[in-house]
Amino acid sequence: MSIISRGFRGKRRDAGDRLPPGQYLVEDFPVLSAGPTPRVPLDRWEFAIDTEAEQTHRWSWEEFMALPAETPTVDIHCVTKWSKLDTTWEGVSLDVLFEDVETAAEYALVYSYGGYTTNLPLEDLLDGKAWIVHRFDGEELEPRHGGPARLIVPHLYFWKSAKWVRGIRLLNDDWPGFWETAGYHNYGDPWREQRYEGD
Amino acid sequence: MTEHLDGNALAGPLGELFTVDMTSATGRCASCGLTGPVASLRVYGPDPGLVARCPGCEEVVLRLVRGPGSAWLDLRGMVSLRLNVPD
């Protein structure tokens, strides 16, 4: 594979340093799916956080769009070994969505329109590490990439960044999600190459 | 664009695990009860794993993940499977 020069971004680390073990760079944006693409009309879309005390916080599309937005630029790493650098998104930090949520739960189960789920420790969603995004590369997020809105948690393999996100359930006990119950690693840190159960 | 393949796409991956032809086996969907050959399932993937869904209700019937040295097979979405075997 050729070495990609990013000289015009002098302050960035070399692409090689930003590539976790076993990954290769792509310039396109591969689409992987485990089912039909859900089509969610915006007037019926909602996002919810359900706490372990059975309190639910809900946002309609209008309410979600009124929240303060951020434009993270992040590297993403798929467990199928492709990585894509400097992807640009627009959306709402989970820190904003969790501002008024009272919880002592340690675990989160993210659930999506279409039935997909994925689990992670709650702390991996907070402190500037995760967003619910609705724009990619300056455009509305396409349904095949998870639009109208998806989660991004760039420090974990990209299957944790649930497309078509619908809500987050907070749990006292860990509850493995769709791929985590079918052989994939429970946590999925690309820098430790946690691809499969037992890695 | 068709997002899925038909169940014949499972022939190779399942053939690695079973000695009988699994695509001609008849399964019953645990969700809606539809009964039909594995070849009639709608298959998504192959990466990160094969996901076969019921053509009637789109629920997941079978999942197969292949890693180095291990395969994970989930048949929770299937009530039973009738296999053609020699007398």
> Smallest CA–CA separation between A113 and chain B, in Å?
13
> Does A36 sit behind a cis peptide bond, omega within 30 degrees of 0 on the bond before it?
no
CA distances from A142 to A74, A137, A149 (A): 18, 11, 9
Burial class (CB in 10 A: 0-12, 13-18, 19+), A28: exposed
**Is B32 contained in some domain?**
yes
> Per-residue pLDDT tens for A163-196?
999 999 999 999 999 999 999 999 999 999 999 9
- pLDDT, tens digit, for every residue of B38-60? 999 999 999 999 999 999 999 99
Q: How confident is the model at residue B3 (pLDDT cuts 50, 70, 90)?
A: confident
Predicted confidence (pLDDT) at residue A16 exceeds the cutoff of 90: no
- Whether B48 and A80 lie within 8 Å, measured CB to CB: yes
Provide Rg for chain B, Cα atoms. Answer: 12
What Rg value do the Cα atoms of chain A yield, rounded? 17
From the list B47, B58, B72, the residue facing A35 with the nearest CB is: B58
Residue B87 maps to a domain: no
What does residue A123 show for φ and ψ, rounded to 5 degrees?
-60, -20
* Residue B76: domain span: 5-82
| Position A4 pLDDT exceeds 70 | no
Count of C-beta atoms within a 10 Å radius of residue A117: 18
CB spacing of A35 vs B44 below 8 angstroms: yes
What pTM value is reported for the model? 0.92
Residue among A157, A180, A181 with most chain B CBs within 10 A, to mutate: A181
Residue B59 lies in a domain: yes
pLDDT in tens, A90-140: 999 999 999 999 999 999 999 999 999 999 999 999 999 999 999 999 999
Domain locations along chain A: 44-192
Tell whether the model's pLDDT for residue B78 goes beyond 90.
yes
ipTM reported for the complex, 2 dp:
0.93
Residues 6+ apart with CB under 8 A from A60: A45, A46
Q: Into how many domains does chain B fold?
A: 1
Q: Which CATH code fits A44-192?
A: 3.90.420.10
Q: Are A112 and A127 in contact (CB under 8 A)?
A: no
